[in-house]
Structure 1
């Protein structure tokens, strides 16, 4: 009889371990999906359509061009960042940049987009 109880305990332990691993896997997948959509916080709703007229008004997502703190990526220049972010005064607002041609991946810069860059498309 002790052998039977030992077998029953092992089976119960394995069933509990299987259930826990299943719930852990579900939790990890949920966290990964939540993290994947975290970048969508930069979107805001606008009650206009890109097509222009018509009675069919659907909300359109407008993406902010850049965050206030920007990390330079591979192959980017101050000119491309300025065009992308709408900030023509990057060098003036970042005194740690002594040479505008000496920009490298990983450099952290402050971005202040101009108010005219917030309108996208015509």
Structure 2
């Protein structure tokens, strides 16, 4: 059977280790929060109402609320969206969440130039 001093020492080490882990976790969360805020201030996408504002026109694009193929074409510089997306049978039937392929044919406007 272990002595009382050994048990107390073991409990003290375990208690110290758990406090150390808790402090490390809090520091990591704070660092992550600060980095996310700094990224957003440096031109990262802001989120408002569940939608990304100033989304880039990546090769794979997810249609947002209120967008049409025409507005996406103007925004991303791709006049051939319908031709490159055979799953779009009706250009007027575009809905939020629809995934489309974008191939810009002209340079994109920067998000800051939209205002």
For normalisation by structure 2, the TM-score amounts to 0.64
Are residues 33 and 109 of structure 1, via their aligned partners in 2, closer, same or farther at CA, if it must alter by over 3 Å?
farther
| Distance in 2 (alpha carbons) for counterparts of 1:6 and 1:14 | 12
Aligned residues: 98
User: What is the Cα-based RMSD across aligned positions, in Å?
Assistant: 3.2
Please report the TM-score for the alignment, with normalisation by the length of structure 1: 0.61
- 2:59 alignment partner in structure 1: 68
Structure 1 gap ranges (5+): 43-62
Q: 1:86 to 1:65 in 2, by over 3 A?
A: farther
- 1:15 alignment counterpart: 16
Aligned-pair distance for 1:35?
Answer: 6.8
**CA 118–84 in structure 1, closer or farther in 2 if over 3 Å, else same:** closer
Equivalent in the alignment of 1:112: 103
Name the residue aligned to 2:27.
26
8 A Cα contact 2:76 2:108, kept in partner: no
Q: What are the residue-to-residue correspondences of 1:76-115 with 2, within 5 Å?
A: 76-115=67-106
| Aligned CA distance change for structure 1 residues 114 and 88 (closer, same or farther; 3 Å) | same
Is the 8 Å Cα contact of residues 64 and 118 (structure 1) preserved in structure 2? no
With 73-82 and 20-29 compared, the bigger mean Cα shift is at 20-29
Partner of 2:104: helix, strand, or coil? coil
Equivalent in the alignment of 1:2: 3
Shift of 1:27: 3.7
